[in-house]
């Protein structure tokens, strides 16, 4: 017994020592690079071109109301006028009457091509919100150092930045060794089945394998996650899948003067509450690449928690649960988006229906979601009906040890002052998922330093991008095209 207390003290000291050692050694060493600037700044030119592109109202409302063909034709005319060298040098193909595929032929056919993906369509603007915009959403106004309008962030900015970078490279006399494709879908906002999917079909038909694909995705952000104020860049190496499940309940109607304890609406409300209070399992390990990238600048407590997930996993989950972005990063999310029920105030509702949207993390599938719903609501009266039109698994996960990823990461650091770079599972859907059929190195990155508040403009009010940031995007893509062109070995 006299030896027990010293023994416990030794164990406690060793326990604390392990925690502290793991904490202080947590974090990846970041290689430093000299700053890189490919082009002399020409921000006014690129801003004017994006302004004209935004004025083309290529709105995709829903699957039954895609972009008007005339609006796409108008946009093609604007692109041809504003990027004359690109159109003269690159072969242009119209895919499925809406999407564009530019081929910038390389001198060395032994090198697999690189493809830069984007989309021409944008989401609509709610008519009731028009008066809330500082500048009209389709005027493409340039004011106060910003370019304002729908598509300024999602993602006509990236489309124009890529085209502008190619335009300037051609003007400078650059000729690629490796073929470069510029693929611009026209229905990404409503699924991509008419656009990117058809472009991939064309690539497959022509036996074209790609060395890498770059599409929209992660950005350079700060203040988005609690405790992380240091700017960091995220590259999406996979994206979540999607499933929309309709919960349907039917009951006998009757007079509201003699109701049961719970009407169909009440029963459905209970099911919804259970689903919201019991989300699908969390996996904080998903965030370890990000946390290691910024580990040296993390607050001590957060650094200690992620360095010792074996001990603090529950604490990390509960902390991230309070932040929508953090919570979405570590689990398949559950969002109740529609509810219907009842026909009159004095009639017991004969039915109640709820629509729940899930964003599926890699490693889970529709069967997992359906089982989770059944186990959670525990009510056989409610039928589960998946929407077959909104259903796909998470994408494959791209390799972070590949040469294309290393080149992308290095270019980000060279152009953006050695910002830490980390991989992530991108929470939203993009056209990227289609390209795995012809490429294993698919990466999602938008070279844009953006604040948490500015991100609200994506699909929101006052969408805008600073003219300075837009020019930086052009410089980045110019650097990346040349860096990929210098890659000689296949990954």
Would you please indicate which residues are annotated as catalytic (active-site) residues?
Answer: 121, 188
The burial class, CB within 10 Å (0-12 / 13-18 / 19+), for 420 is buried
Take residue 323 and report the two structure tokens written for it.
């932040």
Contact 83, 90 (CB under 8 A): no
Contact 352, 268 (CB under 8 A): yes
Cβ atoms within 10 Å, residue 252: 8
Taking the CA of residue 207 as centre, how many other CA atoms within 13 Å lie in the half-sphere pointing to its CB?
Answer: 0
The single residue listed with the structure tokens 């300037």 is 168
CA 333, 336, 337: angle at the middle one, nearest 5? Answer: 115
How far lies 457's CA from each of 36, 154, 187, in Å?
29, 9, 20
For residues 34 and 44, what is the distance between their CA atoms, to the nearest angstrom? 27
Take residue 5 and report the two structure tokens written for it.
């207390």
Nearest to 270 by CA among 386, 382, 351: 382
Take residue 134 and report the two structure tokens written for it.
């500082």
For residues 444 and 214, what is the distance between their CA atoms, to the nearest angstrom? 6
């Amino acid at each position: 017994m006299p030896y027990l207390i010293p023994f416990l003290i030794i164990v406690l000291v060793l326990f604390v020592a392990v925690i502290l050692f793991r904490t202080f050694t947590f974090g990846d060493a970041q290689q430093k690079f000299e700053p890189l600037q490919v082009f002399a700044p020409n921000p006014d030119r690129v801003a004017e071109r994006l302004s004209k592109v935004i004025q083309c109202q290529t709105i995709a409302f829903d699957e039954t109301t895609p972009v008007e063909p005339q609006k796409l034709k108008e946009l093609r005319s604007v692109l041809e006028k504003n990027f004359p060298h690109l159109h003269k040098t690159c072969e242009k193909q119209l895919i499925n009457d809406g999407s564009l595929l530019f081929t910038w032929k390389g001198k060395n056919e032994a090198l697999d091509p690189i493809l830069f993906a984007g989309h021409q369509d944008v989401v609509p603007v709610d008519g009731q919100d028009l008066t809330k915009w500082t500048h009209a959403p389709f005027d493409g106004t340039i004011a106060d150092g910003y370019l304002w309008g729908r598509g300024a962030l999602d993602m006509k900015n990236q489309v124009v930045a890529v085209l502008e970078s190619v335009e300037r490279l051609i003007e400078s006399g650059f000729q690629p060794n490796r073929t470069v494709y510029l693929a611009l879908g026209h229905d990404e906002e409503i699924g991509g089945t008419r656009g990117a999917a058809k472009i991939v079909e064309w690539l497959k038909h022509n036996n074209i394998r790609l060395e890498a694909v770059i599409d929209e995705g992660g950005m350079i952000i700060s203040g988005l996650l609690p405790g992380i104020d240091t700017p960091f860049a995220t590259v999406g190496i996979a994206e979540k899948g999607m499933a929309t499940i309709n919960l349907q309940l039917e009951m006998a109607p009757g007079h509201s003067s003699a109701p049961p304890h719970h009407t169909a609406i009440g029963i459905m409300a209970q099911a919804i509450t259970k689903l919201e209070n019991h989300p699908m399992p969390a996996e904080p390990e998903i965030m370890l690449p990000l946390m290691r990238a910024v580990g040296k600048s993390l607050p001590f407590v957060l650094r200690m928690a992620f360095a010792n997930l074996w001990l603090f996993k529950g604490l990390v989950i509960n902390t991230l649960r309070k932040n929508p972005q953090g919570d979405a990063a570590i689990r398949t999310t559950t969002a109740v988006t529609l509810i219907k029920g009842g026909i009159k105030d004095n009639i017991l509702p004969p039915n109640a229906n709820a629509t729940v949207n899930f964003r599926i993390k890699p490693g889970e599938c529709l069967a997992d979601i359906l089982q989770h719903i059944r186990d959670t609501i525990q009510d056989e009266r409610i039928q589960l009906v998946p929407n077959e039109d909104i259903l796909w698994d998470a994408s494959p996960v791209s390799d972070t040890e590949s040469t294309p990823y290393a080149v992308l990461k290095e270019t980000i650091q060279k152009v953006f002052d050695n910002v830490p770079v980390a991989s992530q599972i991108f929470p939203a859907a993009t056209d990227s998922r289609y390209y795995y059929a012809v490429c294993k190195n698919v990466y999602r990155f938008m070279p844009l330093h953006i604040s948490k508040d500015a991100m609200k403009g994506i699909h929101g009010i006052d969408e805008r991008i600073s003219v300075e940031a837009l020019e930086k995007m052009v410089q980045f893509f110019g650097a990346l095209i040349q860096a990929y062109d210098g890659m000689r070995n296949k990954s």
